[in-house]
């Protein structure tokens, strides 16, 4: 009875486990590498693809002449003979990987030798048709095809697929059993990823920023273009960059530096571009009936200075022959007059100002589908003094990420709606069947539609008549704001070192395109109005041309 019970247990209960062990002992497998998914722009332009290569393996127990195998492989594949020979004769692994991403010519040479115990199977290497373009955005993969940075990393689970295998029946010592057919378990190829990027616009930005980088020789130059109506990122260029097909893998420090997507992961003092928020807060509060807010008819104190907590805060420039006379809010934006914005912030108070700062997304992540996003630097509200608030009003004593600034400005001029920015719009399989559609993400309303329209019209005036006039294109409604931010070293202002920027949008009455250009320490440039604004003009002119956008839009 005991024997029957034991037999039943072995055959039925334990049977599956024993069968699994037997299969593992009697078979040897070779991997079949899945093809990584393709990355395209919104119109199907391929930005990241693959080309076929091969992986070469050795099954040590099937090798009949270890010396010959090691000698031949070292010669053809440029691998170390001694190390390979040692691994062949001493390996306890059923399969030894010799080299991956071997070219087809080398495989043809190997075939001629018909080496026993040597096998090869197809794999793939990543290729980027446009080299430097979007290098920090797309990112790159490891030699094994795993996403390490950028979109390649964020969407690796979709892109990578699942490897298959070829199973060979082997005897107890691991040698192939002659006459037995191999069993084929196919790989599941990765899914394709479609970006919101428009390569036509991307190529325009690449050309403009490369030209600016060569002309001004700054530490860096970058641009972000987005659709302010939904948060879709249309282009992102950053110099210096690198060719994704020629990665400096041997210099990890350089690779990490060049691969850093500063528009998402780095923070800086925005300077006068931040005045958009202060103006938006004032307009919205005035419309709500807040007695502390200023109407556009209000004429600000004409002094170039404000004294806050006993310290002098001055304007950036002695414009209008030294007189700040008859300035209302629209003119204060035109002239980028610091004292006027100090008045607004102090009148509204830190509690109200912080409501808007947080509503516009500062001090927090935007939610962009990218790794390593920074949150900037925002002083705790409880620690803010009047002097801090005064400087925050015109973009000092606060650090933001470029993508935060772009999203905040977009929500200020698009009718008052804050959207999370995003890079990827669609996931599909290799046959074109859509697996997932990623839609816009509305987060919150920051100001009313009326306040947004008023602000956009003021910012249009900045381009027509004010500091942003070098972004003006005749016949087109373009709005924007300049920024020239001081830099600090060891806690003190670094003389002569500035971050110059301009954020623009068009058409200003219903914006479809928003561009933020940042140039860090340009040589020979003085202000955001003279360095960055003309670059935005070039980009917008390129968009107008390639999209055939008519005048008076």
Question: How does pLDDT run along the chain (553 residues), one tens digit per residue?
Answer: 545 455 444 454 454 443 444 334 334 567 788 999 999 999 999 999 999 999 898 887 788 899 999 999 999 999 999 999 988 888 666 678 899 889 989 999 999 998 988 888 888 999 999 999 999 999 999 988 899 999 999 999 999 999 888 776 654 444 454 545 567 788 899 999 999 999 999 999 999 999 999 999 999 999 999 999 999 999 999 999 999 999 999 999 999 999 999 999 999 999 999 999 999 999 999 999 999 999 999 999 888 889 999 899 988 766 555 456 788 999 999 999 999 999 999 999 999 999 999 999 999 999 999 999 999 999 999 999 999 999 999 999 999 999 999 999 999 999 999 999 999 999 999 999 999 999 999 999 999 999 999 999 999 999 999 999 999 999 999 999 999 887 776 666 677 788 999 999 999 999 999 999 999 999 987 778 899 999 999 999 999 999 999 886 5
3-class secondary-structure state, position 461: helix
Relative orientation angle of helices 402-413 and 275-287, to the nearest 10 degrees: 30
Catalytic residue among 133, 272, 336, 529: 272
The count of other CB atoms within 10 Å of the CB of residue 380 is 8
Residue 33 pLDDT: 85
Residues 6+ apart with CB under 8 A from 62: 116, 117, 174, 175, 176
3-class secondary-structure state, position 335: helix
Q: Please, are residues 225 and 207 in contact by the beta-carbon 8 Å criterion?
A: no
Residue 492 pLDDT: 64
Active site residue 336: no
Q: What is the CA radius of gyration of the chain?
A: 31
Q: Please, are residues 130 and 235 in contact by the beta-carbon 8 Å criterion?
A: no
3-class secondary-structure state, position 274: helix
Q: What share of the chain is helix, strand, coil (3-state, %, to 5)?
A: 40, 25, 35
Tokens of 338: 């610091």
168 φ/ψ sector (left φ>0, alpha ψ -120 to 50, else beta):
beta
Q: Please, are residues 404 and 361 in contact by the beta-carbon 8 Å criterion?
A: yes
Q: What is the 3-state secondary structure (H, E, C) of 476-503?
A: CCCEEEEEEEEEEECCEEEEEEEEEEEE
Q: What is the pTM of this model?
A: 0.88
Closest listed residue to residue 256, CA positions, set 150, 154, 129, 375: 150
Residue 381 pLDDT: 96
Residue 20 pLDDT: 42
Residue 497 pLDDT: 85
Q: What is the 3-state secondary structure (H, E, C) of 217-271?
A: CCCEEEEEEECCCCCEEEEEEEECCCCCCCCCCCCHHHHHHHCCCHHHHCCECCH
156 phi and psi angles, rounded to 5 deg: -60, -40
Class of residue 264 by CB neighbours under 10 A (exposed 0-12, middle 13-18, buried 19+): buried
Closest listed residue to residue 534, CA positions, set 486, 460, 467: 467
Closest listed residue to residue 412, CA positions, set 235, 274, 297: 274
Decide the pairing of beta strands 39-40 and 192-195.
parallel
Closest listed residue to residue 222, CA positions, set 196, 241, 247: 241
């Amino acid at each position: 009875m005991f024997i029957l019970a034991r037999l039943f247990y072995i055959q039925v209960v334990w049977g599956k486990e024993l069968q699994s062990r037997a299969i593992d002992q009697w078979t040897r497998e070779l991997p079949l590498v899945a093809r990584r998914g393709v990355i395209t722009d919104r119109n199907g332009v391929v930005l990241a693809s693959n080309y076929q290569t091969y992986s070469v393996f050795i099954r040590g127990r099937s090798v009949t002449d270890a010396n010959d195998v090691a000698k031949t492989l070292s010669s053809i594949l440029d691998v170390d003979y001694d190390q390979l020979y040692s691994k062949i004769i001493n390996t306890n692994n059923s399969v030894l990987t010799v080299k991956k991403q071997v070219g087809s010519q080398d495989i043809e040479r190997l075939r001629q030798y018909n080496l026993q115990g040597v096998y090869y199977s197809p794999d793939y290497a990543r290729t980027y048709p446009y080299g430097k373009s979007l290098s920090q955005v797309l990112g790159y993969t490891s030699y094994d095809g795993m996403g390490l940075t950028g979109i390649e990393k964020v969407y690796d689970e979709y892109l990578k697929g699942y490897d298959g295998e070829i199973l060979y029946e082997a005897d107890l010592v691991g040698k192939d059993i002659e006459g037995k057919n191999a069993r084929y378990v196919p790989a599941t190829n990765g899914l394709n990823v479609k970006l919101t990027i428009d390569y036509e616009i991307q190529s325009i930005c690449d050309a403009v920023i490369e030209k600016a980088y060569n002309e001004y020789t700054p530490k860096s130059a970058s641009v972000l273009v987005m659709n302010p109506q939904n948060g879709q990122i249309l282009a992102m260029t950053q110099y210096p960059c690198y060719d994704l097909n020629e990665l400096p893998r041997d210099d990890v420090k350089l690779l990490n530096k060049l691969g850093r997507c500063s528009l998402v992961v780095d923070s800086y003092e925005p300077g006068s571009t931040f005045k958009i928020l202060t103006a938006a807060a004032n307009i919205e509060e005035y419309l709500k009936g807040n007695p502390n807010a200023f109407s556009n008819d209000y004429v600000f104190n004409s002094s170039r200075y404000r004294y806050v907590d006993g310290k002098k805060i001055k304007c950036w420039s002695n414009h209008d022959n030294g007189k700040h006379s008859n300035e209302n809010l629209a003119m204060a934006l035109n002239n980028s007059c610091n004292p006027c914005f100090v008045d607004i912030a102090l009148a509204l108070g830190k509690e109200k100002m912080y409501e808007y700062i947080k509503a516009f997304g500062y001090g927090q992540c935007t939610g962009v589908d990218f790794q390593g996003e920074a949150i900037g630097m925002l002083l705790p509200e409880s620690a803010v003094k009047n002097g801090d608030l005064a400087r925050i009003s015109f973009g000092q004593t606060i650090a933001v990420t470029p993508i935060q600034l772009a999203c905040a400005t977009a929500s200020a001029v698009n009718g008052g709606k804050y959207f999370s920015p995003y890079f990827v719009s669609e996931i599909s399989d290799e046959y074109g069947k859509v697996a997932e559609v990623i839609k816009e993400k509305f987060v919150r309303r920051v100001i009313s539609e009326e306040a947004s329209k008023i602000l956009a019209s003021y910012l249009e005036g900045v381009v027509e008549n004010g500091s942003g006039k070098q972004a003006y294109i005749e016949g087109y409604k373009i709005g924007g704001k300049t920024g020239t931010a001081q830099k600090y070293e060891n806690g003190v202002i670094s003389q002569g070192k500035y971050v110059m920027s301009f954020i623009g949008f068009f058409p200003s009455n219903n914006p479809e395109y928003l561009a933020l250009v940042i140039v860090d320490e340009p040589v020979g440039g003085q202000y955001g109005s003279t360095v960055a604004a003309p670059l935005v003009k070039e980009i917008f002119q390129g968009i107008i041309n390639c999209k055939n956008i008519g005048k008076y839009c």
